[in-house]
Amino acid sequence: MIEEQGTVLSIHDQIAEVETIRTSSCDSCRARHGCGHRAIAKVSNSNRMLMKAIAPEGLEVGQNVVVGIPEDTLLQASLYMYAVPLVGLVLGAALPSVFTEQTLFSIVGAISGFAGGLWVAKRKSAQEASNPDFYPRVLRINKTQVQTIPVVHDA
């Protein structure tokens, strides 16, 4: 299970909007040294992200929670979003070269194969939009709330 901590901002129809700060997943990832996402997150001023998660009963706005998604779900979604368009691109470029040596057909085939792969990924995403297995879930509520002390400046 891939987990991230966040704060509940709102709850509507058993779906919680949770604000997270992207740090824990980047720090524990094996590919963090060569990852473009981590490099962008380092330079960006805002590492905050809003996500919708399935909320359990009794969840309240303002609580610190742990949100999680299963690794196999993330792997399957990544496969459709990255591998399917890439396979379409390669097949679209390779198949015309079997029948002709003109580069133009390979270029058009590569673009068409990539677009077809993106279309397949979009259709799969639309099919799984109502599947609760593809949504993050609030796994647990952190009992220790961080207390903030307001700073008052004298004018």
- Alpha-helical (H) ranges within the chain are 24-28, 36-43, 71-78, 84-99, 103-128
Q: What is the pTM of this model?
A: 0.60
**Contact (Cβ atoms closer than 8 angstroms) between residue 89 and residue 114:** yes
Rounded Cα gap, residues 113 and 62, in angstroms: 46
Amino acid at 20: T
What are the pLDDT digits (tens) for 97-126?
Answer: 888 888 899 999 999 999 999 999 999 989
Distance from C-alpha of 140 to C-alpha of 59, rounded to nearest angstrom: 10
Statement: residue 73 has pLDDT above 90? no
Segment (H or E) for 18: strand 15-21
